[in-house]
């Protein structure tokens, strides 16, 4: 069996244009955080799930048109994955129950970035190193990690006047509810690394966080509200007319930051995107108060 599959794969690989680094191995992934990482390293996978949504939510890194869309993340299309003939499949703890199926197609390597109560930044960095080592592009991975460190240092420096200020990253569910990201989320950890504080101190689960009524924002009157898309249609219009919303000190004093779309369960590229967008928005709204 392996011989035929290997032969087919070699045949298929031979007919495809080779990118500089991802030379030898045909890789597929069923997880978005790995997908981000692969793209950031220039190791374009042959197949990955939910690409339409990925381009909309994660935005960067840029996705080449050659990647096959495997369908929804929850129900990865195994047939299509098989026909993409990968030689290695990257998975994550979210897809543990799919692993027996994936193993019939190719060897699987699993990462666990998001786990309850554990900050995800270090595991994401470890994932990048591991991917680099596996694909023989250690140099690229190390360079990316160094760039990440440098970018965070730079942003932290620029944010120095605001050090320790509370920020609450939220995602509006409708005009009455929001989803919040606590210390064990990627956003929470980025805030810490930028020298800011997460205004939300309660626990949050690491996945599909339960929405909270908007009135809870009264608990964090000092915080910058970092609004992460998607914003539901009409919600901001409704809020604009809401006495409660407009009475919040955060709103009265202009502490609402509207950011671009970011994948909340991403890898290092998502973390850097959040850090960059947040810093830009914050400095644009309140240039260094000293």
Residues that bind another protein (CB under 8 A): 4-5, 50, 53, 57, 68-80, 82-84, 94, 97-98, 100-101, 104, 116, 171, 173-174, 176-177, 179, 202, 205-216, 218-222, 232-234, 237-238, 241-245, 247-249
Give whichever of 136 and 166 is closer to another protein, judged by the CB atom. Answer: 166
Give the nearest distance from C-beta 122 to another protein in angstroms: 20
Give the nearest distance from C-beta 265 to another protein in angstroms: 10
CA–CA gap between residue 153 and residue 194 (Å, rounded): 8
CA–CA gap between residue 226 and residue 2 (Å, rounded): 50
Give whichever of 149 and 174 is closer to another protein, judged by the CB atom. Answer: 174
Contact yes or no for 103/81 (Cβ under 8 A): no
Structure-token pair, residue 202: 């309660």
Give whichever of 21 and 53 is closer to another protein, judged by the CB atom. Answer: 53
Give the nearest distance from C-beta 233 to another protein in angstroms: 3
Contact yes or no for 60/272 (Cβ under 8 A): no
Give the nearest distance from C-beta 86 to another protein in angstroms: 13
Give whichever of 70 and 282 is closer to another protein, judged by the CB atom. Answer: 70
233: alpha, beta or left? (left if phi > 0; alpha if psi -120 to 50): beta
Q: Which long-range contacts (CB under 8 A, 24 or more apart) does 231-235 make?
A: 231/172, 231/258, 232/172, 232/173, 232/174, 232/175, 234/175, 235/172, 235/174, 235/175
CA–CA gap between residue 257 and residue 283 (Å, rounded): 10
CA–CA gap between residue 88 and residue 264 (Å, rounded): 25
Residue 125 DSSP one-character state:
H
Residue 114 dihedral angles phi and psi, to the nearest 5° = -105, 115
CA–CA gap between residue 209 and residue 116 (Å, rounded): 12
CA–CA gap between residue 146 and residue 89 (Å, rounded): 26
Give whichever of 171 and 279 is closer to another protein, judged by the CB atom. Answer: 171
Give whichever of 221 and 260 is closer to another protein, judged by the CB atom. Answer: 221
Give the nearest distance from C-beta 259 to another protein in angstroms: 16
Give the nearest distance from C-beta 267 to another protein in angstroms: 18
Residue 153 dihedral angles phi and psi, to the nearest 5° = -60, -45
Give whichever of 142 and 237 is closer to another protein, judged by the CB atom. Answer: 237
Give the nearest distance from C-beta 16 to another protein in angstroms: 13
């Amino acid at each position: 069996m392996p011989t035929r599959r290997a032969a087919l794969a070699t045949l298929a690989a031979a007919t495809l244009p080779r990118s500089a680094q991802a030379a030898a191995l045909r890789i597929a992934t069923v997880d978005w955080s790995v997908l981000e990482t692969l793209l950031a390293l220039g190791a374009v996978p042959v197949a990955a799930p939910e690409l339409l949504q990925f381009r909309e939510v994660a935005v960067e890194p840029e996705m080449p048109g050659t990647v096959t869309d495997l369908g929804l993340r929850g129900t990865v299309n195994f047939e299509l994955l098989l026909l993409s003939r990968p030689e290695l499949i990257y998975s994550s703890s979210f897809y543990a129950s799919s692993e027996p199926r994936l193993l019939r197609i190719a060897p699987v390597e699993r990462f666990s970035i998001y786990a309850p109560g554990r900050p995800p930044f270090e595991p994401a960095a470890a994932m990048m190193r591991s991917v680099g080592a596996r694909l023989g592009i250690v140099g690229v991975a190390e360079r990316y990690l160094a760039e990440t460190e440098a970018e965070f240092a730079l942003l932290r420096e620029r944010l120095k006047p605001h050090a320790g200020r509370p920020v609450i990253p939220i995602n509006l569910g409708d005009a009455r509810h929001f989803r919040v990201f606590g210390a064990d989320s990627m956003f929470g950890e980025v805030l810490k690394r930028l020298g800011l504080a997460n205004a939300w101190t309660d626990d949050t689960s690491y996945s599909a966080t339960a929405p909270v009524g908007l009135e809870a924002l009264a608990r964090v009157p000092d915080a910058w509200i970092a609004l992460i898309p998607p914003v539901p249609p009409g919600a901001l219009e409704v809020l604009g007319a809401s006495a409660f919303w407009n009475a919040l000190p955060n709103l009265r004093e202009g502490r609402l930051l509207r950011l671009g779309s970011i994948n909340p369960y991403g890898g290092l590229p998502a973390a850097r995107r959040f850090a960059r967008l947040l810093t830009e928005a914050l400095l644009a709204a309140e240039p260094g108060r000293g």
